[in-house]
Amino acid sequence: EAGVAQSPRYKIIEKRQSVAFWCNPISGHATLYWYQQILGQGPKLLIQFQNNGVVDDSQLPKDRFSAERLKGVDSTLKIQPAKLEDSAVYLCASSFYGTEETQYFGPGTRLLVL
Amino acid sequence: GESVGLHLPTLSVQEGDNSIINCAYSNSASDYFIWYKQESGKGPQFIIDIRSNMDKRQGQRVTVLLNKTVKHLSLQIAATQPGDSAVYFCAENYAGSARQLTFGSGTQLTVLP
């Protein structure tokens, strides 16, 4: 089966610019996650969706980050305006409803903010 | 808040030797633990998991040990191969967290020829 797809794979922007990441989860996976992984650290959860609803966005910096999953399949994560400290890998993961402990990760988008 | 941590940030082993990667967790409510492997430029890949009602679980060349008394988790890799070189993360979760994963900071495993 196809895995979690993410694009772009790499992005370089200047601070104060905006950027958007896209994720297509595994078919049939109702739960979708966005993680931020700073170099040398483990992934940190930003937001969790169940279908098109938000389950938890408590760690999402809402003054600059936003995410949506309008049709309950694909999702986009946006940063506006970007800061230097946003440089990280942004990982998308998905899971079946009811087995959220088993998450499948995409390859990630590596963001560099200059 | 609760967190999962690793004892060693880096580990180098000779090819063919066994590797042991350790992890300490602090949330006594955690009841499910997972080891992930992350190669450069890729997302974390599931290796093996264990539930809190077990002490040991074996997979192909990998074994996970859970010591709930001291809140310690370890990953043993038998006959380590060059392809095992990666960063290894342990992660924990519990039912009260909507099954969200909390990751440690990782151990970089390097396999020497």
- How far is it, in rounded angstroms, from Cα B68 to Cα B55? 8
CATH of the domain at B108: 2.60.40.10
Query: Which residues in chain A touch residue B98, judged by CB atoms under 8 angstroms apart?
Result: 48, 55-56, 100
Query: Which residues in chain A touch residue B32, judged by CB atoms under 8 angstroms apart?
Result: 101
- Tokens 């599931």 locate to B46
Name the CATH topology of A5-113: Immunoglobulin-like (2.60.40)
Instruction: Indicate yes or no: CB of A42 within 8 angstroms of CB of B34.
Output: no
Instruction: Indicate yes or no: CB of A105 within 8 angstroms of CB of B43.
Output: yes
Tokens of B110: 């390097």
Least Cα distance to A66 among A77, A50, A57 occurs for A77
A45 touches chain B (CB under 8 A): yes
- Nearest residue on chain A to B49, alpha-carbon basis: A102
What pLDDT is attached to residue B4? 57
Cβ-contact A52, A69 below 8 angstroms: yes
Task: Report DSSP letters for A38-79, one per residue.
Answer: -TTS--EEEEEEETTEEEE-TTS-TTTEEEE-TTSS-EEEEE
- Nearest residue on chain A to B95, alpha-carbon basis: A101
Instruction: Indicate yes or no: CB of A4 within 8 angstroms of CB of B89.
Output: no
The pLDDT tens digits for A61-72 are: 999 999 999 888
The more confidently predicted of residues B29 and A87 is: A87
Instruction: Report domain extents, chain A.
Output: 5-113
Instruction: Indicate yes or no: CB of B99 within 8 angstroms of CB of A107.
Output: no
Instruction: Indicate yes or no: CB of A103 within 8 angstroms of CB of B43.
Output: no
Instruction: Indicate yes or no: CB of B100 within 8 angstroms of CB of A100.
Output: yes
**Looking at the predicted structure, is the pLDDT value of residue B106 above 60?**
yes
Identify the domain containing residue B65 by its residue range.
Answer: 4-94+103-112
Query: Which residues in chain A touch residue B44, judged by CB atoms under 8 angstroms apart?
Result: 43, 91, 105
The pLDDT tens digits for B26-53 are: 888 899 999 999 999 999 999 999 999 9
Q: Residue A48 CA to chain centroid, in angstroms?
A: 9
What pLDDT is attached to residue B2? 39
Number of domains making up chain B: 1
Other CB atoms within 10 A of residue A29 CB: 18
What pLDDT is attached to residue B97? 67
- How far is it, in rounded angstroms, from Cα A34 to Cα A51? 14
Looking at the DSSP bridge assignments, the partners of residue B5 are B24
Decide: helix, strand or coil at residue B81: coil
Q: Residue B112 CA to chain centroid, in angstroms?
A: 20
Mean pLDDT on A84-110: 91
Q: How close A19 comes to chain B (CA, Å)?
A: 20
pLDDT band with cut points at 50, 70 and 90 for residue B110: very high
Mean pLDDT for chain B overall? 89
Instruction: Indicate yes or no: CB of B43 within 8 angstroms of CB of A102.
Output: no
A58 touches chain B (CB under 8 A): no
**Looking at the predicted structure, is the pLDDT value of residue A39 above 90?**
no
What pLDDT is attached to residue A96? 85
Is the bond leading into B113 cis (omega within 30 degrees of zero)? no
The pLDDT tens digits for B4-26 are: 554 448 999 999 999 999 999 88
Least Cα distance to B106 among B21, B13, B19, B28 occurs for B21
A25 touches chain B (CB under 8 A): no
Cα–Cα separations (whole angstroms), residue B61 to A16, B78, B84: 48, 5, 11
